[in-house]
A = this chain, B = another copy of it.
Amino acid sequence: MNLKHASSKSCFQEILSKIDTFLFDCDGVLWQGNHAVLGAPAVVSHLHNIGKRVCYVTNNSTKSRIKYVEKLLRLGFPADKDSVFSTAYTSALYLKHIAKIKGKVYLVGNPAMVEELDNFGIQHFGSGPDNQVTSQDFDEVRSCILENDVSAVLVGYDGHISYTKMIKAASYLSDPECIYIATNEDHRMPLDGERHVVPGTGCVVASITTSAGRQPDVIAGKPGSFMLECIKQTVQINHNRCMMVGDRMNTDILFGNRNGLDTLLVLSGVENQESLDRAAGSKDADLKSQVPKYFMGSIGDWENFVQ
């Protein structure tokens, strides 16, 4: 097993010597809610100041790139628009430049996704509350008006998810030519030490996937490899000298491992020592593919070495 603890100064220096580009996940790595992880701004600023390329790579679809830059700067991280890769942006990029979509997009999403689709001049509809139909009665279901010329259904985080939206998405997706794109499939986030759970975009996507009887054609976020394609359109990356830093094994670390990047897991978010040990000790191929090369408690563990 290759798993290395990365908190020591020697390991930090080893990583600095072989990595040019750091891809940071945000929630759980750089911040928790509205608070920066202790020491994280100092560490990331140092990396930036000594000439490392720093990118922010997040599955979160509820903020546009501009909103991300504002939050990063407010919390003390170096940032500009070209350093941010969020799924509201990458899904719009996919629809415009890869799918070269002509018709409209039915959006099960949120205002940040509206903003990014607008930025690309993509026609869309569906955002906001929609709760017309609450029964499986055939006549009521038929009362949902379906628009014509819908070329794609885009699903991200939607706090207004409803049965009506499931009907509409599934109906559009019954046309096999209609593209099904999801921002990400992150499941859930337990609130530390509390009973409350924050369901992720994956619960919205799961409801649409089941209704539609189709898996997404493409996932705009991690662990999908399209996310790396997006980054490479803006940033030159040498895969051998690039590291993904994340808090979630089945997205961040899997994404890094699949794409030949170095990987560092921090235990300040979704995973803990127990879940890491379980993956590291498992013989299951899926779980083994999620084991990082390095791990440490938090990115702030390096703070003493950068002052």
Q: Which residues of A contact B (CB under 8 A)?
A: 33, 62, 131, 133-139, 141-142, 144, 146, 157-163, 166-167, 170-172, 174-175, 187-188, 190-191, 194-200, 202-213
CA distance A8 to B33 in the complex (A): 67
A137 cross-chain contacts in B, Cβ below 8 A:
33
Q: Distance in Å from the Cβ of A128 to the closest Cβ of chain B?
A: 10
Which B residue sits closest to A32, measured CB to CB?
Answer: B138
Q: List 9 A-B contacts (CB under 8 A).
A: A33-B139, A133-B159, A138-B191, A144-B196, A161-B162, A167-B198, A202-B210, A204-B207, A207-B207
Q: Which of B146, B167, B195 contacts A174 (CB 8 A)?
A: B195
Q: Is the CB of A166 within 8 A of B209?
A: no
Bound complex: CA A109 to CA B202 (Å)? 21
Q: Contact partner of A197 among B62, B196, B205, B211, CB < 8 A?
A: B211
* CB-based contact A136/B198 at 8 Å: yes
Contact present for A199 and B160 (CB under 8 Å): no
Q: Give 5 new A-B contacts, CB below 8 A, not counting A134-B159, A141-B197.
A: A136-B157, A162-B162, A163-B199, A170-B199, A199-B211
Q: Which residues of B contact A206 (CB under 8 A)?
A: 206-207, 209-210
CB distance A33 to B138 under 8 Å? yes
Q: Are B212 and A188 in contact (CB under 8 A)?
A: yes
**Which B-chain residue is minimally distant from A190 (CB atoms)?**
B174
Known: A146-B195, A170-B199, A197-B174. A188 touches B163 (CB 8 A): no
* Contact A203-B196, Cβ < 8 Å, known A136-B62, A163-B161, A191-B138: no
Bound: A191/B170 CA distance, A: 12
In whole angstroms, how far apart are the Cα atoms of A139 and B209 in the complex?
Answer: 29
